[in-house]
Structure 1
Amino acid sequence: MSANPVQYAMIVRKSLFSLLLFTIVFYNNMEAEAQKRIKFPAAYVVNGGSNTISVIDLKTLKVRKTIQLPNTDCLPHHISLSSDRKKILVAMPEFDFTQSHNLLHQATDKKGGVIAIDAQTGKVLLNLSLPKPNFNAVFSNDNTEIWSAAATHSGQMHVFDANTGVQKAIFSLGADPTQIIFSKDGSHAFVALEESSFILALDTRLKQIKKYIKVDPFPTNVWAGNNGNIYVENKNLKAIAIVNESTMETYEFVDINFKPGQIAYNQLLNELWVCQAEDNKVTYFERKNNAWVLKSTIETGQDAYAITFAKDEKTAYVVNRKENTVSVIDVTKHQKMTDIPMGTLPNGIVLRE
């Protein structure tokens, strides 16, 4: 039996009302989801103890979002940003790298991993496994690959497709590879072998070792200076070696009286900034008579562990691992402006401006 005109009109009105209600709810949900997106200039700080990423609004200098990471049996370690600024990588080792070197080699049952995250939404895009603990993970310069090294006596480099997570290559490095970085042109990667007197230059196209670069014995890390130099941290001998990434030669050594942590070059002031590992200071050096000369120190927070500069290089952000804060420093005045509370045991920072 067909509906009469009055019934038909009521059905139409109900249908239109339902459609309107659905549309309102749909767009409200879309708007709510858009509000959750990280569209502001942000610093991302990985917290190894609380298994989170704290997202700092660089305008207000306050944490606006906290991203909870999966793999609760891991201790997130170091963080990197893709060159297109769309994705973030975090190493996910089942080992606390604050422990001793000997304990690392006794942790034979521990594995590693890599988490890839959408930088705007915080959504996990990839969750990759490594057979052994890894120190960091980084995107290739063209964002097509993910590189991460297993830190063992027979350390291996693992290379994955950045979109699918499929492993593309694996090759041997040597004893205890740590932080991996890329050259400015992306043709080579560099990594320190902690149980040697070398850092390695790796051919990123052929996926093999290109050169062993001689430095002081037992280098602990490498850091990119973004000025054609690689700064080699050596906590064991309290020294810094400087390598020209084009010639792949070590051309300068800087002896210091503290254990160096992360090293960053500030082109604006032509200064070299060095975290004092396990201490509450950042030391900066100036260039005099063709050598790096100690200029002064800035007090931060306990265990100044990681450092990065803003794009204009006028502000520095220092991660204080044992104080669970990030210190914000006015670079030109060499003065701390504020401390921002983080999660527990923060150990890495990247800026997305």
Structure 2
Amino acid sequence: MKILSILASFVGAILLTSCNDNNDDMDMALNVDYPAAYIVNGEDATVSVVKLSTNAVTATIPLMGTGSGMIMWPHHISSHQDHLAIGVPGMDFSAGHTGSTSGMTGKMLIINAMTGETIKSMNLPAMNHNTIYSPDGTEIWVPQMNMDGKVLVYNATTYALMNTITAGMMPAELTFSSDGTKAYVANGDDDSISVINLASKTVVATITVGDNPVGAWTGSNGKMYVDNEDGQTISVIDVTTDMVDETIALGFMPGMASYNGPKNELWVSDPMNGKVHYWSWDTGMNMWMHGNSFNTGAGAHAIAFTADGNTAYVTNQTANTVSAINTTNHSVTKTINVGRKPNGIVIKM
């Protein structure tokens, strides 16, 4: 009976598991060969797969017990082709990025997006807010959340460490410009952004922004949108000049900023009030103008748009849901139940 019990536990770890009543298209084996959103559930250490055509959860990928070792509080997620890269800081950031992280280690996790199989699980010297493929997919970049901040660059095939780049104090998110030439690292304790040339792996600029920047989020319009958590502002950086063009006062602590290129709108999540605010570009005023806000769910956090810009998905960390949103009329079309403390999201077509 003990052997049968162990076997059942092992099989259960590699097959799909049901999240909720939204699993209308649930199969018994994971084969994600359709456009989907992948949502990281921090407290559960799982990834929910949402089929875009139905907005239903079709799979839940367990991150523990599948060759990945101990996974505590996975956070943000990125993709390249059929691979998903997940940062595992081992700490809950749902209430903001405060508290000491000194001495804490992180993990880099790579999984197959179609099968859910763990490809690589690697321990890191320090906590990592995210893990992200380079624009050409040949490298994996990982920020290290230490006072003497570093960025580690790994070969995406062999996982060998290629470069160590010095950043600012306590770097959180690392992102890339839309033209794929620069990396932007948000240094929370420096109130700055380190700009790294991808080719030379050198810091080419340090930009002063607001209080406690968490990420410089990529805009397809040649801008980077920095959410300054304690400053309650958005710093808009021009990628060409690496200078701050505009500072947008929010009046709330931002969860994340996201630019919808086809609609030319800037969205910012408001986790404490369970909302998303949006701004439209005013050509005459040459600045972003606040439009309105709408409710999503408690702990509104990450925002991802489909390629056509018509649909958005917002993770609601303390509501344990994802909101599917019609971006034309800014209305929630479906509330999708996922795992506990959903945060990072990526869409794969």
Whether TM exceeds 0.5 here: the answer is yes
Report the CA distance shift for 1:217/1:259 in structure 2 as closer, same or farther (over 3 A). closer
The 3-state SS of whatever aligns with 2:99 is helix
**Distance in 1 (alpha carbons) for counterparts of 2:108 and 2:328:** 37
Match of 2:86 in 1: 90
Shift of 1:186: 2.0
Letter matched to residue 140 of structure 1: S
User: Contact conserved, 1:95 with 1:104, CA < 8 A, in 2?
Assistant: no
Match of 2:288 in 1: 292
Match of 1:22 in 2: none
Letter matched to residue 55 of structure 1: V
Match of 1:114 in 2: 108
**Distance in 2 (alpha carbons) for counterparts of 1:92 and 1:235:** 21
What is the CA deviation profile of residues 160-198 of structure 1, one whole-angstrom value per residue up to 9, with x for unaligned ones? 111111111112212110110112232210011111232
Letter matched to residue 80 of structure 1: S
Letter matched to residue 264 of structure 2: N
User: Contact conserved, 2:321 with 2:338, CA < 8 A, in 1?
Assistant: yes
User: Aligned to 1:163, which of 157, 165, 174?
Assistant: 157
Match of 1:351 in 2: 347
User: Contact conserved, 2:167 with 2:185, CA < 8 A, in 1?
Assistant: no
Match of 1:319 in 2: 315
The 3-state SS of whatever aligns with 1:134 is coil
**Distance in 1 (alpha carbons) for counterparts of 2:212 and 2:219:** 21
**Distance in 1 (alpha carbons) for counterparts of 2:70 and 2:36:** 25
The alignment status of 1:220 with 2:218, answered yes or no, reads: no
Matched residue count: 317
Shift of 1:73: 4.6
**Distance in 1 (alpha carbons) for counterparts of 2:140 and 2:273:** 32
**Distance in 1 (alpha carbons) for counterparts of 2:36 and 2:72:** 25
After TM superposition, the structure 1 = structure 2 runs for residues 51-200 of structure 1, keeping only pairs within 5 Å, are: 51-70=45-64, 71-82=69-80, 85-98=81-94, 103-105=99-101, 107-108=102-103, 110-200=104-194
Letter matched to residue 232 of structure 2: K
What is the CA deviation profile of residues 35-91 of structure 1, one whole-angstrom value per residue up to 9, with x for unaligned ones? 631101111001110000000111111111111113335210111111xx2211001
- Structure having the higher Rg: 1
Shift of 1:217: 3.7
The alignment status of 1:281 with 2:279, answered yes or no, reads: no
**Distance in 2 (alpha carbons) for counterparts of 1:295 and 1:332:** 13
**Distance in 2 (alpha carbons) for counterparts of 1:197 and 1:213:** 9
The alignment status of 1:208 with 2:206, answered yes or no, reads: no
Question: TM-score, normalising length from structure 1?
Answer: 0.86
Match of 1:266 in 2: 260
User: Contact conserved, 1:55 with 1:66, CA < 8 A, in 2?
Assistant: yes
Shift of 1:97: 2.6
**Distance in 2 (alpha carbons) for counterparts of 1:102 and 1:304:** 18
The 3-state SS of whatever aligns with 1:243 is strand
The alignment status of 1:250 with 2:248, answered yes or no, reads: no
Question: TM-score, normalising length from structure 2?
Answer: 0.87
User: Aligned to 2:327, which of 328, 331, 343?
Assistant: 331
Gaps in structure 1 of 5+ consecutive residues = 1-32
Equivalent pairs: percent with the same residue?
Answer: 34
User: Aligned to 1:231, which of 225, 228, 231?
Assistant: 225
Report the CA distance shift for 1:161/1:275 in structure 2 as closer, same or farther (over 3 A). same
Give the helix-richer structure, 1 or 2. 1
Letter matched to residue 156 of structure 1: K
User: Contact conserved, 2:94 with 2:341, CA < 8 A, in 1?
Assistant: no
Shift of 1:126: 1.2
Runs of 4+ in 1 over 4 A off after TM superposition: 99-102
Shift of 1:283: 0.4
**Distance in 1 (alpha carbons) for counterparts of 2:90 and 2:35:** 31
Report the CA distance shift for 1:152/1:100 in structure 2 as closer, same or farther (over 3 A). farther
Q: What is the CA RMSD across the aligned residues, in angstroms?
A: 1.7
**Distance in 2 (alpha carbons) for counterparts of 1:216 and 1:102:** 16
The 3-state SS of whatever aligns with 1:285 is strand
What is the CA deviation profile of residues 266-293 of structure 1, one whole-angstrom value per residue up to 9, with x for unaligned ones? 2232211110132210001122221111
